Amino acid sequence: MIESTQQPVSPAEAVFRLSNGMSVAAIVLAAARLRIADAVGDGPRSVSDIAARLGADEDALTRMLRALAAFGIFRQVDPTTYVHTEMSRAMRTDHPERLHDRLMTGGDWGWTMWGRLPEAIRTGERAFDKEYGTDFFAYLDADPDAQDMIYNGVTAWSDQMLPSIVDALDLTGVRTFADMGGGKGALLRLLLQRHPHVEGLLYEDERTLRVVMDDLRTGELASRCRLASGDFFEKVEHAADLYLFKLTLHMYDDEKVARALRNCAAAAAAGARVVIADPMLTDPPQHPFAPSMDLHMLLVMGGRERTESGYRAVFERAGMRFRGVTPTDSVLFLAEGEVVG
């Protein structure tokens, strides 16, 4: 038996190990794409059986399973037999945490974009348009399968954060709540369920409104929910006491964000509030998530994550009073501005 001990590593070795994250990610995402976890049953299963179920090469799959087991994804019973661990079981497509959907979010374009990071840093320009000849949203419009994959992955991730967002929202004096770009309405449904005195507005494009959750369209919450279509970068026609943009405005530059905020302010009365629920950058950084997502926005969307001062600047650019930032029990923060008279 080979014994190993954890020894302190040099700074150079520590950086080199970080660079190996690409291979680790590739192994995990390939396992998700192949749906290996679905092919392993409740008990130990032979590699030959798993390969037959997947239509995979047995030798290559043996090498793949060994690599996965080294990271705690599956456990090797013997060199030809593997069994689930909690980590591998979480990768099943029927797992309630929907990890598989989250892992599939990026698709092939995700790998391509990260390879364009040096160019984006040199130019300051988003790389997606140069690589694919169109912007990200037009790309998805032309590829419904990619669009579904993105939607399923993002909602599988963001839906877990909805309770923490609703918990952190200050609904004092709020009678009308507008969820701007709120998808199929999962957050709005939760908020209306918890706050029976509030009426809701779901603001989305026509296509999304056709597949809104039944609870909001015809169910018990429908009497307190309005559906409205439009483009909040062009005009907002509906007054509300509180507008929420969740994981939306970080996809855009400051000019477009200020325009959306300004349009909300134009439709609302003095004292109404607008909340942006996005990650927040800190200096020095406290966690890799927000800075990494910031670079993702640079590459793909042309948007950005913002510091607290960045949120202040964009609200003031829209002519609103910045009220500050509230943390949630997730990676998101609530940046809030108030409409002035």
The residue type found at 314 is V
* 3-class DSSP assignment, residue 62: helix
Residues 68 and 52: their CA atoms lie apart, in Å, by 19
Q: Are 299 and 248 within 8 A, CB to CB?
A: no
Euclidean distance between CA atoms 27 and 70, whole angstroms: 11
Provide the 10 A C-beta neighbour count for residue 331: 16
List 336's β-bridge partners, or say none: 275, 324
Residue carrying structure tokens 């598989």: 100
Intra-chain end-to-end CA distance of the chain, in Å: 75
Nearest alpha carbon to residue 127 among 141, 151, 111: 111
The DSSP bridge pattern shows strands 176-180 and 225-229 to be unpaired
Helical ranges in the chain per DSSP H: 11-19, 21-34, 36-39, 47-54, 58-70, 86-89, 99-103, 107-114, 117-123, 128-132, 136-141, 144-158, 162-168, 186-194, 206-209, 214-217, 254-267, 289-300, 308-317
Q: Give the three-state DSSP class for 34.
A: helix
Which tokens is 68 given?
A: 């996965």
The C-alpha atoms of residue 246 and residue 166 are separated, in whole angstroms, by: 11
238 is catalytic: no
Please identify which of the residues 84, 197, 238, 250 carries the catalytic annotation: 250
Separation between Cα atoms, residue 297 and residue 279, nearest integer Å? 12
Enumerate the active-site residues: 250
